[in-house]
Structure 1
């Protein structure tokens, strides 16, 4: 097979994989659509529980009551289909990897999905109640807190992404060490800068209360340390294997 034919073969396979990913998301969306309002109601629970008696959420635009639950379904479908999506990506790139690379990437992909979901769960069950409790408690007297459902969804999506990415810190650390971009020793020496950076990121992304800032910064720091330990263990294992074969 010529290089041109091989290129078009890879391009065709990529197209097929992308179509399978889109189809997977689409069919999950269809299955979830009848429950769109229930899913949004579940996501709105942390704010609704923090509102004073009689408080409620509002829709300020005509189409918002339809499009916001639809956006929620799209988000849920994307998350639920993520293992299938990652499998398709893995199936596409795996033939071009060495055996040792395949053995490393497969656990990293599974762990990445797990940590991503853990980050969302941490934000929803632990951070959101604190954030919305703080926000509603600081409202001036006589001001009714009635958040627009679209603005609320945009707000929680930002926090979901922030915490999910923060929980991917060990994956980033392991990949950087495995790729030779940085050493474990350098990561240990950069610990103080990482801690300061984590608190800066927490101050920028989270609301202004100090508790939610700590709830983002501390997990990032802890996960960074876990990443260092895992990277060090992998390096030691690789070193022992090299000594055994030499």
Structure 2
């Protein structure tokens, strides 16, 4: 009888420890989400003060004298808010990634921590490279291409909401797809793929990249897809090259 009571008491203590651990994890998650949200909001408020400069740069890409229009009372204001929030998200990424790392750190082994510490800066660098590619290369090319359809009787009238949605969407997409090397290298590290398999499926990979690019780009036209897909294919080949020499 005493042994049975001791077992019941030990089980109750274990259950209390689990409940306490779960509540601590939830509290830590709430705290990290709060830090990320506050940082994002604060940076977005600062970014709002510079939205007009960003739009001036975008307008300059389209050529001198080009102006944007808005067709509803709230469209311009909402476009400014959206652009500030997107800029705030980009700038806050280091803080967000840091808080994610702090939250998951206790569950990681020493080897996994070393891998995360090595990959986190690379992730930020690749995302920034993708965003820079969208801003300095893709957007100017696309603006010139879309404006080339202006002829006698056909005038481009772009609303500010459409422009902000297209530009911010393209920057976000390019930043994310430039993470492809991380995905490929990570999958190879855990044994899901190998250099031989990827090299043998190169045509399938190219086709998949083109299809996914058509789905995730802000507009489904072939020109936009080609501009975005080109660097992704180049990154795919660089990842293959890395896997080949890392064997």
Superposition TM-score tier, normalisation by shorter sequence: 0.7 to 0.9
| 1:58 corresponds to 2:66 | no
Q: How many residues align?
A: 230
SS of the residue corresponding to residue 2 of structure 1 reads: helix
Asked if 2 retains the 8 angstrom alpha-carbon contact of 1:178 and 1:231, the reply is no
User: TM-score by structure 2 length?
Assistant: 0.84
Q: Which of 221, 231, 237 pairs up with 1:208?
A: 221
Distance 2:163 2:240 in 1: 36
Distance 1:55 1:101 in 2: 51
Distance 1:185 1:70 in 2: 47
Q: Which of 106, 110, 132 pairs up with 2:117?
A: 106
Task: Provide the residue aligned with 1:172 in structure 2.
Answer: 183
Q: CA deviation at 1:94?
A: 1.4
Deviates more, 1:135-144 or 1:96-105: 135-144
Distance 1:172 1:233 in 2: 17
Q: CA deviation at 1:80?
A: 0.4
Task: Provide the residue aligned with 2:145 in structure 1.
Answer: 134
Task: Provide the residue aligned with 2:22 in structure 1.
Answer: 7
Q: CA deviation at 1:129?
A: 1.4
Asked if 2 retains the 8 angstrom alpha-carbon contact of 1:29 and 1:73, the reply is yes
Q: Which of 22, 28, 33 pairs up with 1:18?
A: 33
Q: Which of 32, 53, 69 pairs up with 2:47?
A: 32
| Residues 190-205 of structure 1 aligned to structure 2 (within 5 Å) | 190-203=201-214, 205=217
Deviates more, 1:133-142 or 1:89-98: 133-142
Asked if 1 retains the 8 angstrom alpha-carbon contact of 2:83 and 2:168, the reply is no
Larger Rg: 2
Distance 2:74 2:200 in 1: 53
Q: CA deviation at 1:34?
A: 2.5
Q: CA deviation at 1:7?
A: 0.9
Distance 2:193 2:222 in 1: 34
Q: CA deviation at 1:209?
A: 5.3
Q: CA deviation at 1:57?
A: 0.9
> Which consecutive residues of structure 1, in runs of 5 or more, have no partner in the other structure?
237-246
SS of the residue corresponding to residue 81 of structure 1 reads: helix
